[in-house]
Amino acid sequence: MMAPERERDLPEKAGDLTDQGERMYRLICDTSENAFLYYSFQSRTYVTLGRWRRFFPFDICREEDWVKLEMTVDEPYVEPLRHVLFPEREGKKNARVECMLRSKKIWLEFSATVFCDEKGEPVDKVIRVTDRTRYRQQDEELTYMAFYDSLTGLYNRNYFVRLLGEFVRNAKEHQERISVLVVDIDDFHKVNDGLGIIVGDELVQQFGAVLKEFASEKVIVCHLNSDVYCMAIYEPYGEETEEVIYQKIKERIRHPFTLSGGQELTITVSVGVAQYPHAASSALELINCAEIVMMKSKSSGKNAIQYFDAPMLREFLQNVQIENKLKEAVFHQNFSLHYQPQFYTVSKRLRGMEALIRWQDRDHHMISPALFIPIAEKNGSIIPIGNWVMEQSIKQYHIWKEKYALPIILSINISAIQYMKEEFVEVLLGLLEKYRVNPSEIELEITESVLIEDFEKVAEKLRVLREHGIRVSLDDFGTGFSSLSYLKRLPIDTLKIDKSFIDTVLTDAATRVITETIINMARTLGFETVAEGVEQEQQYKYLYAVGCNVIQGYYLGRPQTAQQIEELLKRA
């Protein structure tokens, strides 16, 4: 009785397995993110599975329907898709292509696999359709990041260098020229510091858009960093030359940029130009040369265009070399002091001496302060250098006073950067106390550049120094633009007449008028006058005649070492 039941159940279970298998395949396809098209070569039947309806509003039921698939993709992809849909026509078993749909920006990947029998005849074919849009977008984003600057939309530095390298190779082959421009927004740090980084970024974007208008097949533009841009012009000619482009930029920036916050900003730019093959022979060298020239343009007053030349490069390389050596010298304090005596004009009696820093590098070359002091001010090392000069000169002065007890004055040059440090007065007073030096015997020499920063703050600090008895001298007087307007408001003791006046005072009537005016004005205001660079007896006699109080220069005393000054003190 039991056997027939088991025999009767077997077909049912076998049938269940067949149904479950088909369900399993369909469920797998339906849960996949892909769409599938199955085609049987023997029965000429079509079956669509998976997410077919997600991609296509139609089914494939007969051979003519293949055309519907071809019509869904953008025109350039029709022919490539046809080769993928029918790989068997070319004797292939596999094929793949990515296509964009016509209706919207969706990317689909079509991949075909053909299954053959033992004789190599096609039996089945499966077309799989996969949505590649997200991956394409990621690829586009990565490509954009690789080639473009995210802030301005201009080429980024790396891609610009690559394109400029291609320019150079073509120019070398065809003996043509390239102009590279580095463009920098003047005083951009004031925008960031005063209005904030977001405003600064918006200004960078808007100015980048101005430069983007010049981009063409022959002109490439990039955002190097911060507020610095770079342009390259292949075979400059006509409207596409550095001078024409610069004038168009100047014309545009005459009008203010209106930012989203309502601010209106007017800017100027400094531009450096280097040309292939005159300046350099590689992409990076051209950019570096143009950047050097741009910095030179800034140091010469900004808001200008300047062209590369060989002496400029030599000067730049020299400054780089000095800066590198200077770091080592500051660390090891490889400096020395000389002292130049000052004498009263009437009696030729010693008034005091000015401390002057000297630096001999490790190769035993003397490097002029005129060279290394500006570099030290730029990189910040002027602070430790200035503090070293103050301490060493005050220490030496203490030794002289202990030995000779003469009523002399020590003059110390103070950098504007050093002077503006909050702790400057405290450091100076601490040194005077440490070495037991009377503040009234110290004279600080400041230049008019100190006054540019914040006049009221500078003047207040001068008043504090004067209250402690420290003398103040305004150095290089007459070379600035506003000296006269400052005089009545500054608590100073001495005016130093610049050497440039003394050099020509005997030969130039205008110089004599200015020099005598300064001396008379100083006398009226109660200031002492010191003439620098007095090298001839006739200069001395002239200054004596017009009432200059003190002279300093080679005529009566060259800069000397501390030991040599002692010989002078013994005779004083």
Among 124, 133, 128, residue whose Cα is nearest residue 99 = 133
Is the pLDDT reported for residue 481 higher than 70?
no
Topology of domain 148-308, CATH: Alpha-Beta Plaits (3.30.70)
How far, CA to CA in Å, does 494 sit from each of 128, 298, 467, 505? 92, 33, 16, 20
Is the pLDDT reported for residue 441 higher than 50?
yes
Q: Give the burial class of 405: count Cβ atoms within 10 A of its Cβ; 0-12 exposed, 13-18 middle, 19 or more buried.
A: exposed
- Give the residue ranges of DSSP H helices in 153-309: 157-174, 188-195, 197-212, 242-253, 283-299
How far, CA to CA in Å, does 9 sit from each of 6, 13, 15, 22? 5, 6, 10, 20
Residue 33 has what pLDDT? 80
- For residue range 339-371, what is the model confidence (pLDDT) as tens digits? 999 999 999 999 999 999 999 888 888 989 988
Percent of the chain with pLDDT over 70: 91
DSSP3 helix / strand / coil % (the chain, rounded to 5): 50, 25, 25
Residue 469 has what pLDDT? 94
Residue 364 has what pLDDT? 84
Q: How confident is the model at residue 32 (pLDDT cuts 50, 70, 90)?
A: confident
Is the pLDDT reported for residue 11 higher than 60?
no
Long-range contacts formed by 308-314: CB under 8 A, 24+ apart: 308/272, 308/273, 308/274, 308/275, 308/278, 308/279, 313/279, 313/289
d(CA 344, CA 351): 6
Query: Which H helix or E strand runs over 47?
Result: strand 45-50
Whether the bond between 122 and the residue before it is cis, its omega within 30 degrees of 0, is: no
Residue matched to tokens 């002492």: 528
Is the pLDDT reported for residue 7 higher than 60?
no
- For residue range 303-347, what is the model confidence (pLDDT) as tens digits? 999 998 878 778 777 888 888 889 888 888 889 999 999 999 999
How long is the chain? 572
**CA distance from start to end of the chain:** 145
Percent of the chain with pLDDT over 90: 56
Q: Give the burial class of 168: count Cβ atoms within 10 A of its Cβ; 0-12 exposed, 13-18 middle, 19 or more buried.
A: buried
Is the pLDDT reported for residue 388 higher than 70?
yes
Helix axes 242-253, 197-212, angle to 10 degrees: 130
Residue type, 328: E
- For residue range 41-74, what is the model confidence (pLDDT) as tens digits? 988 889 888 888 888 888 888 888 888 888 889 8
The answer to whether residues 561 and 544 touch, using CB atoms and an 8 Å cutoff, is: no
- Token digits of residue 266: 């007017």
Write down the architecture of domain 17-136 according to CATH. Answer: 2-Layer Sandwich (3.30)
Q: Degrees (nearest 5) of the Cα angle 285, 290, 296? A: 130
Q: For the chain, give me the number of helices (H) and strands (E)?
A: 22, 21
- For residue range 78-137, what is the model confidence (pLDDT) as tens digits? 999 999 999 998 989 999 999 988 877 788 999 999 999 988 899 999 999 999 888 887
Is the pLDDT reported for residue 529 higher than 90?
yes
Is the pLDDT reported for residue 265 higher than 60?
yes
Is the pLDDT reported for residue 234 higher than 90?
yes
Q: How confident is the model at residue 144 (pLDDT cuts 50, 70, 90)?
A: low
Among 345, 348, 347, 351, residue whose Cα is nearest residue 545 = 345
- Domain ranges in the chain? 17-136, 148-308, 319-571
d(CA 571, CA 408): 14
**451 or 211: which leads in pLDDT:** 211
| Mean pLDDT across 524-538 | 94
Residue 450 has what pLDDT? 74
Give CATH superfamily name and number for 319-571: EAL domain (3.20.20.450)
Is the pLDDT reported for residue 9 higher than 50?
no
Helix axes 283-299, 157-174, angle to 10 degrees: 110
DSSP assignment letter at 167: H
Considering the chain, what is the average pLDDT of its residues? 87
- Predicted model pTM: 0.61
Residue 5 has what pLDDT? 38
Among 349, 337, 417, residue whose Cα is nearest residue 377 = 417
Q: How confident is the model at residue 12 (pLDDT cuts 50, 70, 90)?
A: very low
Residue 14 has what pLDDT? 35
